[in-house]
Amino acid sequence: MAENKTAMVVSAHSADFVWRAGGAVALYAARGWKVVVVCLSFGERGESAKLWRESGMTMEKVKATRREEALCAAEILGAEVNFLDLGDYPMRIRDEVLYKLAGLYRDFRPEFILTHSLKDPYNFDHPIVSHAAQEARIIAQAHGHEPSIPVIGAPGVFLFEPHQPEQCEWKPQVFLDITPVWEKKFAAFKMMSAQEHLWNYYERVALQRGTQGARNSGRSHMKYGEAYQRIFPQVTDVFE
């Protein structure tokens, strides 16, 4: 067990971390890591279409429902969630949000950070959050930013899979074997009832990445996978 280690996920909307990184969250939580998810919005405008079809729906009800769904999913996966409630579609990142994120990095001191792809022509919030997650990381590394609090090291940044990878110029460079925690990830999907149409879609994605992971590694037992793109080079003294 690695009780003192932390991983962080920076998610634009309240469900992104479930579809795109739920396996990583469950895997590391099962290893004894603290996993902290930061949801910058609830996805209340752009990713809650099913709720908006209900009569008498209000913004506050949508946000409360999405918050509850995300908390239930995070509990299944083993993460804690911070909601920043910045609003979505459009999302805008003010300097104080960067300072808030930098403060969270310094509080939790993650070994690695998972966030969105650099591009996404279908979703402007996702690359904005990817940019903010990386800019805040660099602020948290800056000795002149709040000098009384120790700077962070160089946590790796991994970009999780967007909905349509080819259009986002995103390439899978790391396959994470999530077979042991797949049941947890799918149980977390079921908490996201506002986006029921995505449950089977992301099961197919996991099966596809699992097959590719097995083929690239000889891990014959690997059935479910999550794929990530690296930002920074791997540093090693052995080729693997």
Residue 106 engages Zn ion in binding (rule: CB under 5 A): no
Q: What would the two tokens of residue 193 be?
A: 């009832």
Which listed residue (9, 10, 13, 105) binds Zn ion by CB under 5 A? 13
> Do the beta carbons of residue 174 and residue 114 sit within 8 Å?
no
DSSP label of 149: S
Residue 45 engages Zn ion in binding (rule: CB under 5 A): no
Which of 86/139 has CB closer to Zn ion?
86
Burial class (CB in 10 A: 0-12, 13-18, 19+), 187: middle
Residue 209 engages Zn ion in binding (rule: CB under 5 A): no
Question: Which residue is at the shortest CB distance from Zn ion?
Answer: 13
Residue 73 engages Zn ion in binding (rule: CB under 5 A): no
Identify which range of 8-16, 148-156, 207-215, 230-238 contacts Zn ion by CB under 5 A.
Answer: 8-16
Q: In the bound complex, what is the minimum distance in angstroms from residue 151's beta carbon to Zn ion?
A: 30
> Do the beta carbons of residue 36 and residue 9 sit within 8 Å?
yes
Residue 63 engages Zn ion in binding (rule: CB under 5 A): no
Which listed residue (8, 9, 10, 12) binds Zn ion by CB under 5 A? 12
Which of 13/184 has CB closer to Zn ion?
13
Q: Is the dihedral of CA 139, 142, 148, 154 positive or negative?
A: positive
Report how far apart, in Å, the C-alpha atoms of 47 and of each of 14, 63, 87, 236 are: 9, 11, 12, 40
Which of 110/162 has CB closer to Zn ion?
162
Which listed residue (6, 16, 160, 185) binds Zn ion by CB under 5 A? 16
Alpha-helix residue ranges (DSSP H) falling in the chain: 16-30, 49-52, 59-77, 95-108, 125-141, 182-189, 199-217
Which of 16/44 has CB closer to Zn ion?
16
CA dist 21 and 63 (Å) reads 21
Binders of Zn ion: how many residues, by CB under 5 A?
3
Which of 16/226 has CB closer to Zn ion?
16
Residue 20 engages Zn ion in binding (rule: CB under 5 A): no
Which of 33/170 has CB closer to Zn ion?
170
Residue 66 engages Zn ion in binding (rule: CB under 5 A): no
- Residue 27's CB is within 10 A of a number of other CB atoms, namely 24
> Do the beta carbons of residue 92 and residue 86 sit within 8 Å?
yes
Residue 161 engages Zn ion in binding (rule: CB under 5 A): no
- List residues binding Zn ion (CB under 5 A): 12-13, 16
